[in-house]
Chains A and B, each alone.
Chain A
Amino acid sequence: MTGELAVAKVGEIGEDEAIVVPRATTGTVDDVAVVYTGGEYFAVDNTCTHEEASLAEGWIEDGIIECPLHASGFCVRDGAVQNLPASRDIAVHAVRVEGDDILVTPNPDRLA
């Protein structure tokens, strides 16, 4: 399908860091955090399911992104919530690397 977006170049996202791709760019209902951890790229909805907070500003380690407000963790691979206070998973989006480009395909369920 179309809709795949080049969101960054390889090397632009540091280890265990994330960038935010605005929803206006992705056409999704939430901003998308593109995460680089363990040598892989992942893309997840950027807003914590508990309260309004940008997950890209959170702590990233061992494949978990931890909300900067109340430390709920989410698996960057499948979006699964790890601990309260959040109790709902976050959506994930498909990512792949082609050449120098990091490409995100917005999750069809999350299109605006």
Chain B
Amino acid sequence: MNAIASVVIVGGGIAGVTTARELRSGGFAGTITIVESEPACYDRPPLTKAAFVDAASLESLAFATPEEYAAQHIDVLTGVRATAIVRGERPGGCVRLADGRTLDADAIVLATGVRAHAPTFDGGALPEVSVLRVYADALRVRELATPGATIVVVGAGLIGAELTSGLVALGAHVVLVDPQPVPGAAGLGETLAGYLHGLHAAHGVDVRQATVTAVTARDDGVLVALDDGGTLPAHAVVVGAGIAVDPALPATAGLADPAAGGSIVVDAAGRTTSPGVWAAGDATWRRAEDGSLAPCAGHWEAARLDGVAVAADILGTSAPARGADWYWSDRYGAHIEVVGRLVGDGTEVVRWAAPGRPDAVFRVADGLLVGAASVDDPMTVRAARRLIDQRVPVAPDRLADPAVRLRDLLRGA
């Protein structure tokens, strides 16, 4: 391991850039090259949040300036796609780029992320129909959102909900279509998901419980057909239908695992089954020590911590133990944070800020906190994640009491 003198990281999102930064801060003295198909290495979560509304520049979303990368001796090749991983002159292999260049490396890190799931309804390929995954998508969708325009958003998950909120802020009339009665309930539970989904209607969104069956072009836009027989005239359609892996690159190295839906299977340290090749972030599934296989959390922090783990392993050290998964989402000015699991075994405890308005929801199992979420109360979740990770016993009545600071439960007050 100590002989590693060159690292090529494919993918400049949070997982890839974290890997590079952690390598340098951990004292790695060899070469580091990041290959990114986008025009810059930038952060994705803002694309559907305030930065979407504000039309933030790509530079403002970038993790660092070219000068900062240069100062850290991190080479960044942007606007070029890696097309294959093949055997090369060094142990990790050789990364082939679309422009014909090749990069041999002692260690290769695949942090390629995922694509947006393409629409499956008829007319999904029309120019009026978009997905949102990269910066150019966000710019294009934002241009559609002229005041008074009608935009159909398909899918009311986190991306669809954030986007709907942003489009409303830009003055568009939004119709939000999702087949679930309470979108998000499978992950957030009915109480919180119901409250959050209700914000759409409260902000003037036309919410439909339905599935889009077809989109057809007409003179001034499209006509969206729903499975309940309804039709929606609209100027544009934006689809948030989840994510899909692109197995093409890992397949060239035999790393697109059919048992993982084509994702790359890694161990806790981010090692793939190919020596000298690591993987991090959304493109991975993780094999636990008991042999079981699980998809990655798909959230930003999980990808960041993957990068921390991969860098540590390349450096021959180990990363700190990982706690419960944490993520955030924003809609209509509300900042939502979630840690751990909010459904499944155990009971739900709600801390109400006002009737019908939860401040936080908790999941308690066997006297321990296993999950928490907050609306505009991030410190409750920051305390909760420590209560979860440290397995501090909790009393449901204290969790439910808005006068009790979770911080004080943590510190035994």
Contact = CB atoms under 8 A, between A and B. Distances in A.
Contact of A87 (B63, B328, B379): B63
A91 to B, nearest CB: 17
Contacts of B63: 84-85, 87
Interface string B315-330: 0000000000010100
Interface residues of B, number: 19
Contacts of A69: 328, 335, 378
A70 interface: yes
A68 interface: yes
Chain A, interface size category, equals 10 to 19
B335 A84 contact: no
A69 B43 CA distance: 15
Interface string B50-93: 10000000000001100010000000000000000000000000
A69 B376 CA distance: 10
Contact of B382 (A51, A66, A85): A66
B39 to A, nearest CB: 18
Contacts, number: 35
Contact of A84 (B14, B68, B328): B14
Question: How would you classify the secondary structure of chain A's contact residues: helix, strand, loop or mixed?
Answer: loop
Interface string A43-69: 000000001000001110000001011
B8 to A, nearest CB: 20
A84 B21 contact: yes
Contacts of B17: 84
A85 B327 CA distance: 13
B304 interface: yes
A80 to B, nearest CB: 10
5 contacts: A59-B383, A71-B301, A71-B326, A83-B18, A84-B14
